[in-house]
Amino acid sequence: MDPRAQHEPADRDPGPAQGGEAVGTPPPGRVAGPDATVVVMVAGIVLAVVLGLLVGARLGTLTIAVTLATAGVWRATAPAGPPGLVVRSRGFDVVTCWGTAAVIGVLAVTAPGLG
């Protein structure tokens, strides 16, 4: 441990941000909800499960591929990293999402027995 490191006491309030409100605090009377990226990605996964069970595994798997491709597009075009999609650098995240979407999409179309 570095003895030169300065620590603030645990009971000390860091105070409001420059804008007058604490960072990450919702306006008074409002409760912070889930972020849009998280909602869209969870909705895509739920849709894939429902389609996979009701229609067929091939359609469910293709829906997972589309959800991953959407995540890659969102990560590539968002000015700031969308919460829930930021893991590493922008390029790494986009290549990972698109590459996985391509592999899953190809397997969904070519794998026998998914009917």
Encode pLDDT of 89-102 as tens digits: 999 999 999 999 99
Domain that holds residue 74: 36-110
Q: Is 59 among the domain residues?
A: yes
Residues belonging to the chain: 115
Q: What is the pLDDT of residues 57-106, one digit of tens each?
A: 999 999 999 999 999 999 999 888 888 888 889 999 999 999 999 999 99
Counting beta carbons within 10 angstroms of the beta carbon of residue 47, is it exposed (0 to 12), middle (13 to 18) or buried (19 or more)?
A: middle
Spatial separation of the C-alpha atoms in residues 61 and 25, rounded to whole Å: 38
| pTM score above 0.85 | no
Q: How many structural domains comprise the chain? A: 1
Q: Is 44 among the domain residues?
A: yes
Q: Is 3 among the domain residues?
A: no
Q: Is 91 among the domain residues?
A: yes
